[in-house]
Homo-oligomer: A and B are copies of this chain.
Amino acid sequence: MIKENTGIPKYKQIIKSIEESILNGVYKRGDKLPSINSIKFRFSLSRDTVLLAYNDLKTRGIIQSVPGKGYYVKTENVDTQQKIFLLFDEFNGFKEELFNSFIENLGDNIEVDIFFHHFNHKVFNKLIYDNIGIYNTYVIMPANLKETNLFLERLPTDKVYILDQMHQELSKYPSIFQNFEKDIFTALSNGLELLRKYKKLILLFQKDIEPKGMLHGFEKFCMKNDFEYEVIDKIGDRAPERGEVYLIPDDRNLIRIIKKIKELNLVLSKDLGIISYNDTLLKEIVEDGITTISTDFNAMGKRLAEMIINKEFAQIENPNNLIIRKSL
């Protein structure tokens, strides 16, 4: 509860400070608040400035005044406008479900401002720096950016949440994230029976874009189950062969491979298999159904909203599913 000589008006600082104290349980219902004079002296303010703040809270029904005695907390229901700073990596279709379920599961009077760092450290830092102190909650998607913790230090620790990708340096923050290594390992394990039909597993892995955990989980699975395997970064002129299963994180590559399969008159799920990463609507009907490994973005958005509303500290691995369709 301190005041300065800059930016936001003093009386608004007082209001905000009292609201937060109530939210954090410093003041309970019925508690007496400091008198106007005590605040006036403590922070060297005009009496009017303090009065302005108390009157605002009074007209909003949060505190009540008892003439001759003082001010008391009337209700702990401080529906102060919550503002959330949401920093995504980039704008793409997969964010649709996540963002919309997040918004829906937050209350109506919570405002979310969205930003994109485009995998650029400078942009990331500037966005953090320029928005310090303006929001009640900061949700950060670090993606593959390293050492973001150095800049996140500038934000109040208890107001930061990490989303989608987790790094060791960020372990002090609550988070909900994909465990790519575990997800791909267990998903493949769940599909083991079907995979036994095939001879060789091939992962299409672009190391600048895809998270490393994906690669590790894939290799772990193949070694444990004695699968022949290969990791390639692009399709190029490669011709798919019988007995292969392709694990494809990127949809452009998915299209290329399906076209090649048709050119070669191969038959999906007989001659060879496909597993795609991230489920989208149309994958249900492409080639009578593409098998996907996919995190539940809906659940991720919902759980994140709950964590924020309940001020819950948790570090959660988001649920992931293998959706088996005809392509395997």
Binding site for B on A (CB under 8 A): 5-9, 30-32, 61, 64, 66, 68-69, 72, 74-75, 77, 90-93, 95-96, 99-100, 103, 113-116, 118, 126, 129-130, 251-252, 254-255, 258-259, 262, 280-288
Q: Which of A74, A100, A282 has the most CB of B within 10 A?
A: A282
Give A4's nearest chain B residue, CB to CB. B30
Q: How far is the CB of A259 from chain B (nearest CB, A)?
A: 7
Alpha-carbon gap, A89 to B91, bound state (A):
15
In-complex Cβ contact of A91 among B9, B32, B95 (8 A): B95
What residues of chain B lie closer than 8 Å to A262, measured between beta carbons? 288
Alpha-carbon gap, A258 to B281, bound state (A):
13
Give A80's nearest chain B residue, CB to CB. B126
Give A257's nearest chain B residue, CB to CB. B285
CB<8 Å pairs between A and B, sample of 17: A6-B31, A7-B30, A7-B64, A7-B72, A9-B66, A9-B68, A90-B100, A91-B99, A93-B96, A103-B118, A113-B113, A114-B116, A255-B284, A255-B285, A282-B286, A285-B287, A286-B286
Give A102's nearest chain B residue, CB to CB. B91
What residues of chain B lie closer than 8 Å to A118, measured between beta carbons? 103
In-complex Cβ contact of A281 among B77, B103, B251, B288 (8 A): B251
Q: How far is the CB of A182 from chain B (nearest CB, A)?
A: 28
Alpha-carbon gap, A175 to B323, bound state (A):
43
Whether A281 lies near B259 (C-beta < 8 A) is: no
Give A123's nearest chain B residue, CB to CB. B111
Alpha-carbon gap, A77 to B92, bound state (A):
28
What residues of chain B lie closer than 8 Å to A6, measured between beta carbons? 30-32, 72
Whether B280 lies near A282 (C-beta < 8 A) is: yes
In-complex Cβ contact of A285 among B100, B129, B259 (8 A): B259
Q: Which of A64, A118, A259, A286 has the most CB of B within 10 A?
A: A286
Q: How far is the CB of A132 from chain B (nearest CB, A)?
A: 9
Given contacts A255-B285, A285-B258, A286-B282, contact A66 B7 (CB under 8 A): yes
